[in-house]
Structure 1
Amino acid sequence: MSQAPAKEENPLVNIIINVLLPTIILSKLSKEGDAVYQLGPTLAMVVALALPFGYGIWHWVKHKKLNIFSCVGLGAILLTGLITIFLWKSPEAKPHVALIFGLKEAIQPLILGSLFLITRRSSNPLFRTFIYNDSIFDVKRIEQSVAEKQRISEYDGLIWKCTLLFFGSFCISAVLNLGLSFYFLGDLEATNPDWRTVYNEQVGRITFWGFLVIGAPLMIVAFYILYTMVNGLEKLTGLDRETLLVPR
């Protein structure tokens, strides 16, 4: 008997555990004080890093492959934590907090977006993981039809075009992240005695509004890429949309 297909992981759970929860921990528990939840910046970073690190180890043991969300989460939290410690220990850097934090926020999506280009010719391209995969498209039938019609170069061109569009969406995210950092941290007074508290609160707001201001445009771009992919495959293969897509 054939084995049942492995259950697909929920991307939302991945994002919550590897990105959202660690960021909230870092922004809310980094205060220094006597309360049990006031861990300080160093210990808060350790706790925040434990989530994506632990999830990444579990994913590796179960699936024998890296979890890209865990890698991104580890990098994001480590950068945020190190920048927070640097800002708190270096008074001369405080006037530039919006630029420093904004560059960090912009670099993260650029790195992730670049991985779509770097892994394009690998055995497991990220574009196929996120968009063009067997849970959405009937890839085997599509590639068989493309081969029969001898349109492989056009097929590769379509995938490359959509990969570039996906990379472009991360570039948009980088610009919006930088803008959010200047909006929320641009007027932070370096001489404010509650500077650390205000900083933590603003980082939390950047995280919250980032999901709204950045998430919505990225969803629109993702749907446009999916629309472009489906229409391009219809023209290349002659198959209709119901045949191209896996029944839900």
Structure 2
Amino acid sequence: MTEKKANPFTDLIFNVIVPSVVLMKLSGDEHLGSVGALVVALAFPIVFGGYELIKYKKFNFISLLGFVSVLLTGGIGLLELDAKWLAVKEALIPGLIGLGVFISTFTKYPVVSKMLFNDTVLNLSLIKEKLGDNGKEKDFQRCLAKSNYLFSGTFVFSSVMNYVLATMIVTSPSGSQAFNEELGKLTLMSYPMIAIPSMVMMMGIFYFIWRQIRQMTNLETAEIFKTQ
């Protein structure tokens, strides 16, 4: 199977930049019109997501929510619903993800454990051995639970910021040229104002876990991470 190589620049182009430019520049009647521009703009993330699904045969719950988010945005614009529903939708998607992450804390498979504490990233057998030798298993489980709460909090942050930005930026009636332009601006601004701070917070969580592993196992960084 072809392994997917992370390409955030490509994701940024097809999911943020191109849709934003289409909405802001081509929504006038002299170009695509408000409906045509909305359909074209939403087609880019849908087609790109479908291409990745077919090529890499990878699909997950977060991808599904992203797809549903695009469809809801299109529905709000095409059905000309009140713009307030866009703000609700923008807050709902990360809110649901955050709720799922929070609930996973009380299961056998917290999201943070699945993402970070696995033998793909870490030298798991050695870490578990050292945690056992030092009597730190329960302490580390509490560390993972705390990390999962923090990870859930990043989505709460995204949910609140999405709602605030949407209510501030998108104020025109849905289905109008102005609505499309504001939606394009919202899409463009959400990346530096929401996505980047969220990534920084997640990096902070990863750093916290790494520090806890070092303190509880007395292992060096080269011993903690699995190298090829």
Q: 1:143 aligns with which of 128, 133, 138?
A: 128
% of aligned pairs identical?
A: 19
Equivalent of 1:74, from 54, 67, 71? Answer: 67
What is the aligned partner in structure 2 of residue 10 from structure 1?
6
Aligned residue pairs: how many? 226
* Paired position in structure 2 for 1:182: 167
1:156 corresponds in structure 2 to 141
**Residue by residue, what CA displacement relative to the aligned partner does 1:211-236 show, whole Å, maximum 9, x if unpaired?**
11113321331232122111211222
Report what 1:49 is aligned to: 46
SS class of match (1:214): helix
Unaligned runs of 5+ in 2: none
Matches of residues 3-152 of structure 1 in structure 2 within 5 Å?
7=3, 9-10=5-6, 12=8, 15-16=11-12, 19-20=15-16, 23-24=19-20, 27=23, 31=27, 35=31, 39=36, 41=38, 45=42, 48-60=45-57, 65-68=58-61, 70-86=63-79, 88=80, 90=81, 93=82, 97=83, 99-120=84-105, 121=107, 126-128=111-113, 130-134=115-119, 136-152=121-137
TM-score (norm 1): 0.72
Provide the rounded CA distance (Å) in 2 between the counterparts of 1:244 and 1:77.
Answer: 39
- CA-atom RMSD, angstroms? 3.6
Q: Deviation string for 1:80-139 (max 9, x for gaps)? A: 1111122x2x5xx3xxx1x3211111111112223323455466x542454444454323
Letter in 1 for 2:137: I
**Aligned pair 1:218/2:198, yes or no?**
yes
C-alpha separation in 1, matches of 2:114 and 2:54:
19
Q: Which has the higher contact order (CA 8 A, sep 6+)?
A: 2
Name the CA shift for 1:8/1:84 in 2 (closer, same or farther; >3 Å).
same
Deviation track 1:57-100 (CA, whole Å, cap 9, x = no partner) reads: 3332xxxx5245532331221121111122x2x5xx3xxx1x32
Shift of 1:141: 2.0
**Counterparts in 2 of 1:76 and 1:158: CA distance versus 1, 3 Å:** same
> Would the alpha carbon gap of residues 47 and 228 (structure 1) be closer, same or farther in structure 2, given more than 3 Å must change?
closer
Distance in 1 of aligned mates of 2:208 and 2:16: 30
* Structure 1: stretches of 5+ with no match in the other structure: 1-5
TM-score by length of 2: 0.78
